[in-house]
Amino acid sequence: MFEKTRDIFTHLIHPILFMYLAASYIPSTILLLLSPLQLNILFSPSAFKEIWFARFWSTYGPGLQINTSPTIAPLLQRVHGIVLDIGPGSGEWLPLFPKNRITKIYGVEPNRDHHVALRRKIRDCGLEGVYEIVPVGIEDLARAGGLGRGGWIVL
């Protein structure tokens, strides 16, 4: 009985609540883009989605770790060498990377609206010079030139 209730919450109520919370950021994002008027973003579904998601994630992204940390934290503790961090968002997991065993991290994050928060996290975690933001989608990495041997992306 308890498991069934928990399943209903995890697989039904939680996703609906999550979608509701995300949708609640649409009106304020539209208002933000009206002053000053940024029609190019308002009428571009992909540009609008990026700024909307970044605003939503900056509030709810950090809290989501509380539930997922027990499964993800042990995995992160095992990473070493050169790391490919796909879709880091605002970098909420950066504090858990084992700094002493990592030589380089490439954070492939196409949404530039996350980059200010991500850079702040890189600085706060002492990962400057180690963590490099790669501003493309993972599917575009090869087309953008890939990750060079010297540690630089060739764009």
- The rounded distance, in Å, linking the Cα atoms of 104 and 132 is 8
Helical residues (DSSP H) of the chain, grouped into ranges: 2-8, 14-23, 25-34, 39-42, 45-76, 115-124
Span interacting with ligand SAM, options 6-14, 29-37, 75-83, 137-145, rule CB under 6 A: 137-145
CB of 143 to ligand SAM, least distance (A): 12
User: Is residue 86 near ligand SAM by the rule CB under 6 A?
Assistant: yes
Distance CA 153, CA 138 (A): 13
Rule CB under 6 A: choose which of 52, 61, 106, 115 binds ligand SAM. 61
Token readout for 123 is 């600085």
d(CA 19, CA 32): 20
Stretch that binds ligand SAM, among 13-21, 41-49, 82-90, 142-150 (CB under 6 A): 82-90
**Touching ligand SAM, residues 6-35 (CB under 6 A):** none
- Mask for 90-129, x = binds ligand SAM (CB under 6 A): --xx--------------xxxx--x---------------
Number of neighbours of residue 106 by Cβ within 10 angstroms: 19
User: Residue with CB nearest ligand SAM?
Assistant: 87
The β-bridge partners of 153 are: 147
Under rule CB under 6 A, how many of the chain's residues touch ligand SAM? 15
The residue among 5 and 59 lying less far from ligand SAM, judged by its C-beta, is: 59
Please name which of 110, 79, 81 lies closest in space to residue 93, comparing C-alpha atoms.
79
Which spans of this chain sit near ligand SAM (rule: CB under 6 A)? 61, 86-89, 92-93, 108-111, 114, 137-139
